[in-house]
Amino acid sequence: MFRFIGRRFLQTIPVMLIIITGTFFMQRFVPGGPFTAEKAVTPEVLHNLEAYYHLNDPLWKQYMDYVWDLCPKRFHPLALVNGLDFKAAFGIDFRPSFKYPNRTVNEIIADKLPVSLELGGWSLLVALGLGLPLGILAAVKRNTWIDYLCSSFAMTGICIPNFVLGPLLVLAFAIHTGWFEASGWYSPIDRVLPCLTLGSFYAGYIARLTRGGMIEVLHQDFIRTARAKGASEARIIFHHALRAGLLPVVSFLGPAAAGILTGSFVIETIFQIPGLGREFVNSALNRDYTMVLGTVILYAGLIVTLNLVVDVVQVWLNPRLKFE
């Protein structure tokens, strides 16, 4: 297993390098730059700005300098605990942001990533906490009103987009009843509405996948054998069927977790959450070159890691697969 993980880790290095190179050059060919504005800066000012950010250097030199700054130069992972400082931990320097000149991209990531992780984590819990029981219930009580109720909830969750559900929840529970704040990310109670909004979409998906997986498994021979041997219904569902029935959910969770973490832009905008999703999208609009690269690299790293975790969990759940 460690050999498997080690080999997969080595494979990620060229993947990351391709992503960095592609992003670095692609954003330079996008029309408009960090200093493009409806009212142009005067030539003297533009010259000073470009000199300040070394944009006058040849592109290949800018690229080499940047990649060198990114290369890990030390290994103190414990420094990450102390405020997610990638520079202190690995010597990875994402440089200062163009848009926020007094902040480094390292600092912005350290500041915003925990918020996005928290939002994503709670939302994932909501998604699993709602989706799994609903899916199992629907599969076990197949074609009864319970199934229809669970399935219509799941479909509703999938069909109502975040940007509709979010404002509806705000209208009902913030403006009308006053139980929650309409936006913000200050106290624990502020987590409820955003996580519910983001989680419910994935809950719907997970419920449908669980239902499908469970129905398929519940029809298999080994379940009939277990029943014939007199196992209780609870034991059949939770011990025998669930492990196999969850496989589609587990494969979905990798991309879903990545999607929840990276795709939280809409939720962050509706609820004014200071997460990384907003920085990610706005950095592209601002042509904040260093911020774009920093967030892309971070998200790429997250997705690669999550996919690896999913692969390991799948082997563990499915005896037919082996590490190789």
Partner 1 sequence: MIHTVMSRKSWAVLPLAAVLALGGCTRRDAAPPPVGQAVLRISQRNEPGDLDPAIASMPDDFFIIRALSEGLVIPSPDGATPVPAAAERWEVSPDQLRYTFHLRSNERWSNGEPVTAEDFLESFRRVLSPGTAAPKADLFFPVKNARDYLSGKLEDFGSVGFNAPDSQTVAVTLDRPMPPGEFLPYAASGPWIPVNPRAVSRLGSQWTRPGNFVGNGPYTLTEWLPNQRITVKPNSFYRAAGQVRLAAIQFVRFDDEDSEERAYRAGQVDVTMKVPTERIETYAHERPAELHRAPLAETRYLSFNTRRPALNDPRVRQALSMAIDQRRIVDDVLRGGQEPADRLIPTAISTGVLDKGPPRGLGYDPAEARRLLAAAGYPDGRNFPHLELSGWSSAPVLEAIQEMWKKELGIEVAIVLREARAHVAALRSGAYDIGFITLIPDVPDPISILENFTTDSPNNYPHWSDGVYDYLIQLAESAGNPAKDVGNFDAVALRGAESLLLTEAPLAPVYFNSKVWVMRTYVHGWREDALWTRYYGDLWMDSTGIPRH
Asked if residue 303 lies in contact with residue 119, where contact means CB atoms within 8 angstroms, the answer is no
Closest contact distance (angstroms) between CB of 15 and partner 1 is: 28
Question: 175-234: which residues touch partner 1 (CB under 8 A)?
Answer: 175-178, 181-185
Strand, coil or helix: 96? strand
Closest contact distance (angstroms) between CB of 281 and partner 1 is: 10
CA–CA distance, 139 with 213 (Å, rounded to integer): 9
Range in contact with partner 1 (rule: CB under 8 A) among 68-76, 165-173, 295-303, 304-312? 165-173
Closest contact distance (angstroms) between CB of 254 and partner 1 is: 28
> Of 66, 138, 278, 290, which one interacts with partner 1 (CB under 8 A)?
278
CA–CA distance, 37 with 53 (Å, rounded to integer): 17
Determine, following the binding rule CB under 8 A, whether residue 30 of this chain makes contact with partner 1. Answer: yes
Of 197 and 210, nearer to partner 1 (C-beta) is 197
Q: What is the largest CA-CA distance in the chain?
A: 86
C-alpha pair distances (Å), 150 with each of 58, 129, 195: 59, 13, 20
Of 288 and 311, nearer to partner 1 (C-beta) is 288
Determine, following the binding rule CB under 8 A, whether residue 82 of this chain makes contact with partner 1. Answer: no
One symbol per residue from 235 to 254: x for binding partner 1 (CB under 8 A), - otherwise; what is it? --------------------
Closest contact distance (angstroms) between CB of 165 and partner 1 is: 9
> Of 44, 221, 233, 324, which one interacts with partner 1 (CB under 8 A)?
44
Exposure on the CB side of residue 291, measured as CA atoms within 13 A: 26
Query: Quick one: 74 exposed, middle or buried, by C-beta within 10 A (0-12, 13-18, 19+)?
Result: exposed
The phi and psi torsions of 264 (rounded to 5 degrees) equal -85, 10
Strand, coil or helix: 288? coil
Closest contact distance (angstroms) between CB of 225 and partner 1 is: 35
Of 140 and 303, nearer to partner 1 (C-beta) is 140
Of 183 and 314, nearer to partner 1 (C-beta) is 183
Strand, coil or helix: 268? helix
